Structure 1
Amino acid sequence: MRLTVLGGCGAWPEAGQACSGYLVEHDGFRLLVDLGYATLPRLLERVSVDQVDAVFISHGHPDHCADVNPLLRARALRDDPPAPLPVYALPGALDAVLALDRPGMLDAAYVLHEFTAGSRLDIGPFRAQTRLLPHWVPNAGVRLAAGDRVLAYTGDSGPSPDVVELARDADLLLAEATYVDEVPEDSQGYQSSARQAGRQAADAGAGHLLLTHLRPGTDPAAARAAAADEYDGQVAVATTGLILDLP
């Protein structure tokens, strides 16, 4: 299983970066997990739009799904449009993005599979277990298994025992870490810090920890250090272009 980071910024993209978006590949199947602001140009540096096999969206905030619109436009408006793209999302999560164009314009470009958090999904070679994790809007964390490798992704989530269960013995935990240490009072329970992500990775027994969704301006080294205080495994920060092959 290979993970390519298209973007890892939280809220808005820094110069030269992009918001949350990840390309996960196994046995030639290409799954996009989230597709936030500025991720499509990063994707197109690697593959063409017709080479994407499916999309999974954790929740409806635009820094996780805004570039679904240009992805579908690029598929729908070509002379030889590919087959409809399977898109997996919670009910209503993509309503705003799919309403950006005139009615019907993108209908032939995708097939929307709405699921309930907690559902198990088969997406190509991936066995996906979803779990509702705490955020301001419904957010589905996902545990992707293929072959004997497991990647767990939180979307955006406050700290929760459900994150630990989602990541139990995973090879890689891709965890939201908007803040380094202290989460502001108005965001507590809805977003996490790098320190909390490290603690949860340790509790889960995850093999590696990849911090993502850092707020622009955050010092990556400080985030890594805070997570490493709680977690003895390898810690990295998701930046555009990072590629990880799950061992």
Structure 2
Amino acid sequence: MKITVLGGCGAWPGVGQACSGYLVEHEGFRLLLDPGYATLPRLLERVGAEEIDAVLVSHGHPDHCADLNPLLRARALGAEPPVALPVYALPGAVDAVLALDRPGMLDDSYRLDEFAAGAGFEVGPFRVASWALPHFVPNAGVRVSAGGRSVAYTGDTGPSPDVVELARGADLFLAEATYPEEVPREDHAFLSSARQAGEHAERAGVGRLLLTHLWPATPPDAALTAARRTYAGPVSVATPTTTFDL
């Protein structure tokens, strides 16, 4: 099971960066997790659009799903369009993205499989478990497992005991860490800090912590320092092309 970071910026892509996007591979199956802003060019540096086997979206904010549109365009408008791409998302989460083109243009390029947060399901060789985690819009934290390995991903979330349950014993914990130390009051219920991500990782006993969704101006060292105050294991920041072979 291999995970490649396509981007890890929160809100909008910084210079030379991309927003949330992660390629998860196992036994030749390629799952794209959260195709946020500017992730498609990063993806195409590694594989063709037609080589993606499924997409899984944590929630409907565009920094997590906007590049679903150009991905589907690249598939639908190619010389030999591939089979419809399975897209797994919460109800209504990708409606706005799918509505960007003229009606019917992309209909044959995807198959929308909506799921309720809390549900479990299979995607190719992967087993997916999900949790409803607090955010400004409905958000599903997901745990993707295959071959005895697992990656846990929060999407974007405020404080919740379910974060620890999501991450418990995971080989890789991909945790939203928009702020290094403290989350502003107006965002406190809906976003997390690197320090909180470290606390969750320590309580969950994860193998490795990967901080993502940093505010574009946040120095990575500030996030790492904050997380290391509360988590004793290996920790890094999600940067494009970083790969983890579990």
User: Taking structure 2 as the reference length, what is the TM-score of the superposition?
Assistant: 0.99
Query: Counterpart of 1:148?
Result: 148
Q: Distance in 1 between matches of 2:66 and 2:218?
A: 23
Letter of the 1:242 counterpart: T
User: Gapped runs of 5+ residues in structure 2?
Assistant: none
Query: Counterpart of 1:63?
Result: 63
Query: Counterpart of 1:49?
Result: 49
Q: Give per-residue Cα distances to partners, 1:24-79, cap 9 Å, x unaligned.
A: 00111000000000000000000001110000000000000000000000001112
TM superposition shift of 1:238: 0.1
Q: Give per-residue Cα distances to partners, 1:205-242, cap 9 Å, x unaligned.
A: 11100000000110101101110100000000001111
Q: Distance in 2 between matches of 1:47 and 1:122?
A: 23
Query: Counterpart of 1:204?
Result: 204
Query: Counterpart of 1:79?
Result: 79
Q: Distance in 2 between matches of 1:6 and 1:159?
A: 26
Query: Counterpart of 1:28?
Result: 28
Letter of the 2:152 counterpart: A
Query: Counterpart of 1:163?
Result: 163
Query: Counterpart of 2:195?
Result: 195
Query: Counterpart of 1:243?
Result: 243
Letter of the 1:38 counterpart: A
Query: Counterpart of 2:2?
Result: 2
TM superposition shift of 1:189: 1.3
User: Taking structure 1 as the reference length, what is the TM-score of the superposition?
Assistant: 0.99
Q: Distance in 2 between matches of 1:6 and 1:99?
A: 24
Letter of the 1:208 counterpart: R
TM superposition shift of 1:177: 0.1
Query: Counterpart of 2:116?
Result: 116
Q: Distance in 2 between matches of 1:95 and 1:141?
A: 19
Moved over 4 A (4+): none
> Superposed, which structure 2 residues align to 1:169-188 within 5 Å?
169-188=169-188
TM superposition shift of 1:88: 0.1
Query: Counterpart of 1:224?
Result: 224
Letter of the 2:137 counterpart: V
Q: Distance in 1 between matches of 2:4 and 2:112?
A: 24
Query: Counterpart of 2:136?
Result: 136
Q: Distance in 2 between matches of 1:160 and 1:195?
A: 14
Q: Over aligned residue pairs, what C-alpha RMSD do you find?
A: 0.5
Aligned partner of residue 150 in structure 1, secondary structure = strand
Q: Distance in 2 between matches of 1:240 and 1:10?
A: 13
Letter of the 1:240 counterpart: P
Query: Counterpart of 1:11?
Result: 11
Q: Distance in 2 between matches of 1:127 and 1:56?
A: 12
Letter of the 2:198 counterpart: G
Q: Give per-residue Cα distances to partners, 1:86-109, cap 9 Å, x unaligned.
A: 000000000100000000000000
Q: Distance in 1 between matches of 2:79 and 2:160?
A: 47
Q: Distance in 2 between matches of 1:217 and 1:201?
A: 24
User: Gapped runs of 5+ residues in structure 1?
Assistant: none
TM superposition shift of 1:159: 2.0
Q: Distance in 2 between matches of 1:48 and 1:89?
A: 22
Letter of the 1:245 counterpart: D
Q: Distance in 1 between matches of 2:83 and 2:61?
A: 27
TM superposition shift of 1:172: 0.8
